[in-house]
Structure 1
Amino acid sequence: MTYELHQYHEWIDQLLEEGKTVQVTVQGMSMFPILLPGDSVQIRRIGFDEMRPGQVLIFEREGQWIAHRLMVKEEKSQYLTTRGDGLPRQDHPIPATQVKGMITGVVRSRSPFARSINTSADRWMVWLTPLTGRLFWYAGRMVVWGLKRLKRL
């Protein structure tokens, strides 16, 4: 991670700590087809008591901020299991203290599914993602491959 990215994360974290909602740009394909690289989302700080399976959380792992869906919330240990909608497997459990916030809205997206964030569809995705994750993963790879080919033309 670059020094500039580290400073950016610290600044965003400070704004969230102050209770502000911040807008960030999504990178990566792990939430395909809900979120795509370049989409803009709003995030706000969230406490453990507010976390519900189905919400898309932002958490830190190895210096990177990741947006994945909350699948399992362990009340006793306060550990969370997340998963990217476009990934074939769940993530390793993380302590709730690593959560920076949750996505509260989508400002700009090319995905017709992005508007499903923070709706009843979130709860359905907890059950559907284990079935659709591998399919979305392959579809995402095909989209990336197609975009790379178009750039070469």
Structure 2
Amino acid sequence: MPVGLQQRSALGCELVAEVAHSFGEVCLQVTGSSMIPAIWPGDVVAVRRSDLGELRPGQIVLYRQERGLVAHRIVHIQGNLLTTRGDTLRHDDPPVKASDLVGQVLSLVRKGQRVNLRQSSWQCISASLLRHSDLCLRMTLRLGLRLRRQGTEEMA
């Protein structure tokens, strides 16, 4: 990542963390695909400032990382460290320090509709399939983008 882009990314992370700290909550649009099918690119998440003691495995958190902000599901909590993983990723993320935690993802809005964040059985099965098949993940992303575009065109 070029130095200028790294600096902008770091500033953006700090700004988001400061807004969450000062006001208790921040909303962001998601750009990545590591949490499909629970969270899709373009979804808007509301993140509430949280302490490590309030969190449990299975919840989704937002944290700062060298490359930017990451929203992933908690796999394990040990002491002052979180272990997280994106639902479609095969491996756990590097440990997250409590100081890098921005907060817990509380709600999700997709196409103007609030979506339940509790992981259903079909989402667990889908995430497992997507985690083990790059082809299925690419096809799912294409289908999701096509459906999103069609929904946008119908609204216009």
Q: TM-score, normalised by structure 1?
A: 0.75
Aligned to 1:103: 105
Amino acid at match of 2:41: P
- Structure 1 distance, partners of 2:71, 2:83, is 12
Q: Work out the number of aligned pairs and report it.
A: 141
Q: Give the fraction of aligned pairs with identical amino acids, expressed as a percent.
A: 29
- Structure 1 distance, partners of 2:145, 2:28, is 24
Aligned to 2:115: 115
Per-residue deviation, 1:51? 1.0
Gaps in structure 2 of 5+ consecutive residues: 150-156
Amino acid at match of 2:92: Q
Aligned to 2:66: 62
Structure 1 residues 60-69 or 24-33, which shifts more?
Answer: 60-69
- Structure 2 distance, partners of 1:80, 1:99, is 9
1:85-100 aligned at under 5 Å gives the runs 85-100=87-102
* Matching residue within 135, 138, 150 for 2:129: 135
Amino acid at match of 1:20: G
Per-residue deviation, 1:86? 1.4
**CA deviation string 1:24-70 (max 9, x = no partner):** 00011100001111111101111011011111001122131101000
CA 108–134 in structure 1, closer or farther in 2 if over 3 Å, else same: closer
Partner SS, residue 87 of structure 1: coil
Does structure 2 retain, via aligned residues, the 8 Å contact 1:56–1:68? yes
Aligned to 1:7: 11
Aligned to 2:29: 25
- Structure 1 distance, partners of 2:126, 2:145, is 24
Q: CA RMSD in A?
A: 3.1
Q: TM-score, normalised by structure 2?
A: 0.74
CA 132–9 in structure 1, closer or farther in 2 if over 3 Å, else same: same
If asked which structure has higher relative contact order (CA below 8 Å, sep 6+), I would say: 1
Aligned to 2:57: 53
Does structure 2 retain, via aligned residues, the 8 Å contact 1:24–1:42? yes
Structure 1 residues 142-151 or 46-55, which shifts more?
Answer: 142-151
1:82 equivalent to 2:84? Answer yes
